[in-house]
Amino acid sequence: MLTIYGVYRSRASRNYWMAHELGIPFKSVPVIQARRLADPLAADAPINTRSPSFLAVNPMGLIPAIDDNGLVLTESLANNLYLARKYGGPLAPADLAEEGQIGNWTMWAATEVEPHAVKIILAYDDGIENTPEGEARIAACAQSLEKAFAVLEAHLQNRDYVVGDRFTVADLNLAEVFRYAMSQTALFDRHPRVKTWLARCQSRPAFKSMMEERLREPE
């Protein structure tokens, strides 16, 4: 059975969404981020990213990680590519060309979008979004995202999804990265196709199921 390590309020949400899309059974091990705990190594601390038991799974001390019958993978976007390839169906690439496109868009999201988008969400997580420092950080990140948003906006001109004519793992991976910037409504308003595409992805029952679980977790 597939085991997913990580709480829903983390990048593990990507892997949980994917598992829901595929309709596969999985075990959830709710590893929490150590930064959220006063003393992550305390005897009564919940399992977290500094717990020896988790470091035995992922020595980098980051979530998520997955264990699929002994195969351990530790990069959230790559985990989804693997699951799509293993289980097939419409989320998986239909041929080699689609596999290349899906990989390309996923790596693009990881390198060109997430480094900026994640700083926005962390500003909110740290509660500094209304401070001068936080406002400056968010504004700079939003500006840095303009080019990437424009690229995806142009790509979606005559299509509803990123690759092929259907929702694939490429859409799921990108949607989870772009979600980090959702507080920047003006950015999305300037790129209406991206806004509509993200809403379309997030209207899926599997996404809603994942978010329901996410909202049950403490912040």
The reply to whether 57 and 76 lie within a common domain is: yes
The reply to whether 197 and 108 lie within a common domain is: yes
Looking at the domain assignment, is residue 214 inside a domain? no
The reply to whether 168 and 186 lie within a common domain is: yes
Q: Which residues of 42-70 are buried (b: 16+ CB within 10 A; e: fewer)?
A: eeeeeebbbbeebeebbeebbbbbbbbee
| Residue at a domain's end among 33, 53, 88 | 88
Per the structure, the count of domains in the chain is 2
Tell me what pLDDT residue 16 has: 98
What DSSP letter does each residue of 26-53 carry, written as one string? EEEE-PBPGGGSS-TTSTTPPSBTT-HH
SS3 73: strand
CA distance 82 to 89: 13
Dump pLDDT digits (tens) for 155-175: 999 999 999 999 999 999 999
The reply to whether 77 and 105 lie within a common domain is: no
CATH number of the domain that 8 lies in?
A: 3.40.30.10
Looking at the domain assignment, is residue 216 inside a domain? no
Tell me what pLDDT residue 218 has: 87
Amino acid at position 132, single letter: P
Tell me what pLDDT residue 187 has: 97
DSSP code for 59: T
CB 145 within 8 A of CB 194: no
The reply to whether 80 and 155 lie within a common domain is: no
Backbone angles phi, psi at 47, to 5 degrees: -60, 130
Tell me what pLDDT residue 74 has: 98
Looking at the domain assignment, is residue 141 inside a domain? yes
Looking at the domain assignment, is residue 219 inside a domain? no
Residues of the chain with pLDDT under 70: none
The reply to whether 111 and 78 lie within a common domain is: no
Looking at the domain assignment, is residue 212 inside a domain? no
Domain range enclosing 129: 96-206
What DSSP letter does each residue of 188-212 carry, written as one string? HHTSHHHHHHHHHHHTSHHHHHHHH
| Residue at a domain's end among 33, 61, 88 | 88
CATH number of the domain that 197 lies in?
A: 1.20.1050.10
The reply to whether 74 and 134 lie within a common domain is: no
| Residue at a domain's end among 33, 67, 88 | 88
CB 177 within 8 A of CB 162: no
pTM: 0.95
